Amino acid sequence: MPVSNSQPDRNNVQGMIMRGYTHPWSCHLIFKFATQPGAKGFIKAILPYVQSAADWGDDKPEMMLNIGLTFTGLKVVSKLTTSDLAGFPPTFKQGPASAGSQQSLNDGKSNIDTWVFGQTGKQVDCVVHVYGMDEPALNKLVKIVADAAVAGGLTEYLPIANGTKRLEEYATVPRNSIHFGYLDGIDQPALNWGNPDDPADLSAFLIGYPNNTSQPGPSQGNAGVFAKDGCYNAFRMLYQDVDTFDNFLDTNAKEIAPKLGLSIADATEWMAAKLNGRWRDGSPLELTPDKPNPELSHATAFGYSGDTTGMKCPFSAHNRVANPRDEVLSEPGLPPRLIRRGMAYGQPFNSKTASEDRGLIGLFLCGSLSNQFELLYSWINTTNFSNIFPNQQGQDALIANRSMPGADTSFTIPTSKGPVEIESLPQFVVTRGTAYCLLPSISTLKSIVE
Amino acid sequence: MTNPLTLYVPIKQDAKTQETAQGIHDNFVAAVTAGLDASAIVHYARISLIPNASGEGFHAIMLMTEFDGPMNPYLKFFWDNPGTKLAFSAIAAIALTPPNPPVTDLTGFENFINNNNLNDAGDMYAAYPQTVKEIEKAFSTAKAH
Ligand code: HEM
The Å distance, Cα A128 to ligand 1 centre, comes to: 23
Judgement on whether residues A262 and A186 belong to the same structural domain of the protein? no
**Interface check A90 vs B, CB under 8 A:** yes
Judgement on whether residues A297 and A151 belong to the same structural domain of the protein? no
Contact A330 B40 (CB under 8 A): yes
**Interface check B71 vs A, CB under 8 A:** yes
Which pLDDT band, with edges at 50, 70 and 90, does B143 fall under? Answer: low
pLDDT above 70 covers a percentage of chain A that reads 99
Phi, psi of A45, rounded to the nearest 5 degrees? -65, -35
**Interface check A222 vs B, CB under 8 A:** no
Judgement on whether residues A21 and A65 belong to the same structural domain of the protein? yes
Looking at the complex, report in whole angstroms how far the Cα of residue B104 sits from the nearest Cα belonging to chain A. Answer: 9
Residue A237 has a pLDDT of 98
Nearest CA to ligand 1 atom 12: A184
The Å distance, Cα A361 to ligand 1 centre, comes to: 12
Judgement on whether residues A212 and A88 belong to the same structural domain of the protein? yes
The residue among A104, A373, A389 with the most chain B CBs within 10 A of its CB, best to mutate, is A104
Judgement on whether residues A252 and A158 belong to the same structural domain of the protein? no
**Section A85-99 average pLDDT:** 98
Mean pLDDT score of chain B: 93
Residue range(s) defining the domain that contains residue A398? 240-339+369-433
What is the enclosing helix (H) or strand (E) of A340? strand A339-340
Alpha carbon distance A80, A84 (integer Å): 6
Largest CA distance in chain B: 56
Judgement on whether residues A205 and A100 belong to the same structural domain of the protein? yes
Judgement on whether residues A177 and A314 belong to the same structural domain of the protein? no
Which pLDDT band, with edges at 50, 70 and 90, does A1 fall under? Answer: very low
Q: pLDDT of A26-84, one tens digit each? A: 999 999 999 999 999 999 999 999 999 999 999 999 999 999 999 999 999 999 999 99
**Section A434-446 average pLDDT:** 98
Classify burial at A206, counting beta carbons within 10 Å of its beta carbon; exposed 0-12, middle 13-18, buried 19 or more.
Answer: buried
**How many other CB atoms sit within 10 Å of the CB of residue A79?**
10
Alpha carbon distance A35, A400 (integer Å): 38
Report the residue among A340, A364, A432 best suited for mutation to probe ligand 1: largest number of ligand atoms under 8 A from its CB.
A340
Q: Is the CB of A92 under 6 A from ligand 1?
A: no
A350: in domain: no
Pairing of strands A359-366, A420-422: unpaired
Judgement on whether residues A229 and A249 belong to the same structural domain of the protein? no
A3: in domain: no
Judgement on whether residues A263 and A211 belong to the same structural domain of the protein? no
Residues of chain A found within 8 Å of residue B39, distances taken between Cβ atoms = 331-332
Nearest CA to ligand 1 atom 9: A184
Residue A159 has a pLDDT of 98
The Å distance, Cα A191 to ligand 1 centre, comes to: 18
Residues A184 and A240: beta-carbon distance below 8 Å: no
Residues of chain A found within 8 Å of residue B5, distances taken between Cβ atoms = none
The Å distance, Cα A416 to ligand 1 centre, comes to: 27
A28, A163, A118: which is closest to A435 by C-alpha?
A118
Nearest CA to ligand 1 atom 33: A322
Buried b (16+ CB within 10 A) or exposed e, B95-126: beeebbbbbebbbbbbbbbbebbebeeeeeee
Q: pLDDT of A215-237, one tens digit each? A: 999 999 999 999 999 999 999 99
Nearest CA to ligand 1 atom 11: A184
Which pLDDT band, with edges at 50, 70 and 90, does B145 fall under? Answer: very low
Residue A75 has a pLDDT of 98
A281: in domain: yes
Residue A171 has a pLDDT of 85
Number of domains in chain A: 2
pLDDT greater at residue A283 or residue A175: A283
In this predicted structure, the answer to whether residue A250 has a pLDDT above a threshold of 50 is: yes
**Interface check B121 vs A, CB under 8 A:** yes
Judgement on whether residues A253 and A196 belong to the same structural domain of the protein? no
Q: pLDDT of A359-412, one tens digit each? A: 999 999 999 999 999 999 999 999 999 988 988 889 999 999 999 998 999 999
Closest ligand 1 atom to Cα of A359: 1
Residues B82 and A376: beta-carbon distance below 8 Å: no
B110 vs A90, A219, A220: nearest CB: A90
Q: Is the CB of A376 under 6 A from ligand 1?
A: yes
A2: in domain: no
The Å distance, Cα A389 to ligand 1 centre, comes to: 19
The residue among B84, B100, B107 with the most chain A CBs within 10 A of its CB, best to mutate, is B107
**Section A273-297 average pLDDT:** 98
Residue B142 has a pLDDT of 58
**Interface check A308 vs B, CB under 8 A:** no
Half-sphere exposure of A396 (CA within 13 A, CB side): 26
A89: in domain: yes
Judgement on whether residues A289 and A195 belong to the same structural domain of the protein? no
| Reported CATH class of domain B2-144 | alpha beta
Residue A37 has a pLDDT of 98
A141: in domain: yes
A352: in domain: no
Closest ligand 1 atom to Cα of A360: 1
Contact B77 A331 (CB under 8 A): yes
Residues of chain A found within 8 Å of residue B133, distances taken between Cβ atoms = 330, 384, 387, 392
Residue B141 has a pLDDT of 65
